[in-house]
Every structure is written in C-alpha cells, then in structure tokens.
C-alpha cells in the first residue's frame, strides 16, 4: 500500500513553489517525518516530509517543476527500508583470498550517504546543509560540526569540500597523459535561477519602475558608539548572553527618525497612505540562496539586547536555511548593512511596499575637521533611499540627519531626542 506525498500549505498568500531538490530517490529508505524534498518559495526553502516510514516511491514531478499547494508530488511505498535501499550493498566486502574472514555476523554499518540525516554530533541537517552535502559529495559523518551542539553548518561542508579538492588523488598506475592546456579555453555555464532569485529580481525591478526612487547621503562619526560599545560589551554579553553590535544602535536611531518623520515609516496602498504607529524593521541578511529580509518586530519597544538577540537568531537561521515565511512577512522600514562586505557607499533599493531603506557601510579612519583642527575619526557613510512620491526631500534629509545625530551622541537614544 502506498501513501501520497502532497505539497503542504506554504504560508499566507503563497500558492505555489518550485521543486528545489529531491532529498530521497526512488528505492531509498524513508523514516516517518523525514525530509524527502526541498521546496523553494518566493522567500524561503521548505521541507516536504514523509507521511509514513517505508521506501521512497515514484517522483511525480521533477526538480525545477512548479507545483501548487495540495498537488501530488511523490509516493511512499510500504516495505523495509533496509531491504529496499541498495546502498548497504556497497559496504559488502569483496571476496578476499585471506583464509580467515573477520568474524562479524552482522554487516558493518555503511557510511552515511549525502541524503542521510544523521552525522557526527548533529541529528538533523538543515535544508541548506543537505543541499551542500549533496552538491559536493561529502560524507556528513566525517565532518566536524562547529554549530550549536555540534551541528554541521554549510560552512563546515564547504570547508570539507575544499579540503577534499585540495587532496591529491592516489596514484594507482602510470598517469595517462593529460590534455595539454592551451591557456585560451573559454567556457560557459548555464544555471537555472532559483525561485528566490527570480522573485528578488522581479521585486527590485518593480521597485525601480513603480517608485520615484531618490537617495540622500550623510556621514557619521562613529567615535561615540565605538567607545560605548568597547566600554560595555563585556558586561553586556555577560548579562544578556549576546554580543553588543552596531545594528542595535542604528535600529534605535532609526526609531527616533521614523517617529519624528512618520512618512518615512509609511506605505502607499492605491490612492491611500498607510501610517504605522509601530516600527517593524526588516534586516537584510545573506542566505545561501540570496539576500533575505526577516523582520524584527516592535523595535520601538525592544531593548538593545532584544534587538541583538533577534538579529543574531535570524542570521543563524538564514545561514542554516530555516527561516519561515512568517519571519519575513511585513516590515515598515529596512536596514541593509553593506559594510560587512566592505562596501564604502551604495544606493540601496527600497523593499516594496516600504517607502525607505537605510544603507550602512564600512567604517574607516578619515581626516575630518573638529574645532578648527584636522583630526582622524572613524567615519561611516550612510544612505537613505526613499520613494519621492510619499517622502519629500526635506523629510528624507531630516530623517537621515536624526539618525546621524543619535549615533554621534548616543545619549539621545536614552532621552528620546
């Protein structure tokens, strides 16, 4: 008797997805609730799990196919996974002339394959890690996890793949003559865009075509924030269990600006303007499949520690590929930190239907004038891109200036100035 595997509910207003990867092939042993496929939606990857234990049956659809909620995509057949899966046969030793075979009645356990979910100190591999394991042909049981509780991260797999590539292949006979390198070879590779990348491309292009985009710039002296961070970071981490970063300062400074200039925190819907009395900030983070923007909600009510905890959690989950649709729903304003990649200056694009985005950049020592003297200060360029249909230039400049003043004098964050 077989069991049907159907596309699960994907989230509010999401009706279709793409088969990103089959994690189990026909004939593979499958445990109940084990991930057998990865679906790519417009924002996140979602695992499809087996409704029962058994053997992976037929794939109804192929990788890259678009499927809708409730669609049949595969079957799970009854049977013993160990008997049905051909993989253990690979562990059977070849006939040996040795007169005394090793006295083991039970077959030796085979090394976990790329599709297995168990590895070293980790009991479950995230979708991003599973994908990396399959792509690079890495045995997860031989990878030392550096994540929490010994979990394997995507970086661990990539490091193992690099080490594997660097190892010279063992020589068993005289090497065949390799084709002479001409030095003029030209190659092309075509890779299908992921659903996430397609969606990002469409949204950003739509933002350019729909909104009247404009960017205003300023620079910030980071001396006061750096001094405060260096002074309190150890006590902060000891008390809250999280590092004190710059994002919490900029988030709180943004709250001051958005409360002072409500239009920067507003959105256009049809012929109406929607104003929000709360601040939900989308924090742009890098994920394996591209840039994602999970939302830190009620930033105006969160403490510095609460903001840092939320950002750290989203960053880890983005890296592991475990963000959900709910994590990225909404948002009234966005902060994008290109400085972590070394960017000096940029013109960020707004995240529709939001009306503004703050761009942060790298900190570098530059000569500035203070009290008539040229001094060296740690400076950062900041940029505010905004929808000119809703936000006037005066409002945008004022909002960015408010952020600048709050960062240069963090006391303003405490007394709401």
Active-site residue list = 388, 392
Are the C-beta atoms of 384 and 348 separated by less than 8 Å? no
* Buried residues in 94-108 as b, exposed as e (16+ CB within 10 A): eeeeeeeeeeeeeee
Give the closest residue to 2 by CA, choosing from 56, 62, 83. 56
End-to-end CA distance of the chain: 69
DSSP string over 91-102: GSPPP-S-SS--
157 HSE (CA, 13 A, CB side)? 26
DSSP bridge partners of 366 = 377
Are the C-beta atoms of 23 and 49 separated by less than 8 Å? no
DSSP bridge partners of 29 = 55
Q: How many helices (H) and strands (E) does the chain have?
A: 9, 19
Give the closest residue to 317 by CA, choosing from 6, 76, 43, 10. 43
Residue 30 zone, left/alpha/beta (φ > 0; ψ -120 to 50; rest)? beta
Length of the chain: 417
Helix locations, 55-94, DSSP H: 81-84
DSSP string over 25-46: -TT-EE-TT-EEEEEE-SS-EE
Residue keyed to tokens 């890690």: 129
On the question of a cis peptide bond just before residue 415, with omega within 30 degrees of 0, the verdict is: no
Angle formed by the axes of helices 127-136 and 304-320, to 10°? 30
* Buried residues in 126-152 as b, exposed as e (16+ CB within 10 A): bbbbbbbbbeeebebeebebebeeebb
């Amino acid at each position: 008797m077989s069991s049907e595997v159907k596309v699960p509910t994907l989230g509010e207003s999401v009706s279709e997805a793409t088969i990103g990867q089959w994690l189990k092939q026909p004939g593979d042993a499958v445990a109940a609730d084990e991930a057998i496929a990865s679906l790519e939606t417009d924002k996140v990857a979602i695992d499809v799990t087996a409704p029962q234990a058994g053997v992976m049956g037929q794939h109804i659809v192929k990788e890259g196919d678009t499927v809708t909620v409730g669609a049949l995509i595969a079957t799970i057949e009854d049977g013993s996974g160990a008997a049905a899966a051909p993989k253990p046969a690979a562990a059977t030793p070849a006939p040996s002339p040795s007169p005394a075979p090793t006295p083991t009645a039970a077959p030796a356990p085979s090394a976990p394959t790329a599709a297995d979910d168990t590895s070293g100190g980790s009991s479950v591999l995230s979708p991003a890690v599973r994908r990396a394991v399959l792509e690079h042909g890495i045995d997860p049981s031989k990878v030392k996890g550096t994540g929490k509780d010994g979990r394997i991260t995507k970086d661990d797999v990539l490091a193992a793949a690099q080490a594997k590539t660097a190892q010279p292949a063992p020589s068993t006979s005289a090497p065949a003559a390799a084709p002479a390198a001409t030095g003029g070879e030209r190659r092309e590779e075509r890779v299908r865009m992921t659903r996430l990348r397609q969606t990002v491309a469409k949204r950003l292009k739509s933002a350019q075509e729909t909104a009247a985009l404009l960017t205003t710039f300023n620079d910030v002296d980071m001396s006061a924030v750096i001094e405060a961070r260096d002074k309190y970071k150890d006590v902060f981490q000891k008390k809250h269990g999280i590092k004190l970063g710059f994002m919490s300062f900029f988030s709180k400074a943004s709250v001051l600006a958005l409360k002072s200039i409500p239009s920067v925190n507003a959105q256009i819907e049809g012929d109406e303007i929607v104003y929000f009395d709360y601040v939900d900030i989308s924090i742009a983070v890098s994920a394996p499949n591209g840039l994602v923007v999970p939302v830190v909600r009620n930033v105006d009510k969160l403490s510095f520690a609460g903001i840092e905890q939320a950002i750290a959690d989203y960053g880890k989950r983005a890296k592991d590929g475990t963000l959900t649709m709910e994590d990225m729903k909404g948002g009234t304003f966005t902060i994008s930190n290109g400085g972590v990649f070394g960017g000096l200056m940029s013109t960020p694009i707004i995240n529709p239907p939001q009306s503004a985005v703050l761009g942060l950049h790298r900190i570098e020592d530059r000569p500035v004038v203070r009290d008539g003297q040229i001094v060296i200060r740690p400076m950062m360029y900041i940029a505010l891109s905004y929808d000119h249909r809703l936000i006037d230039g005066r409002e945008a400049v004022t909002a960015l200036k408010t952020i600048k003043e709050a960062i240069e004098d963090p006391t303003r964050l405490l007394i709401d100035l």
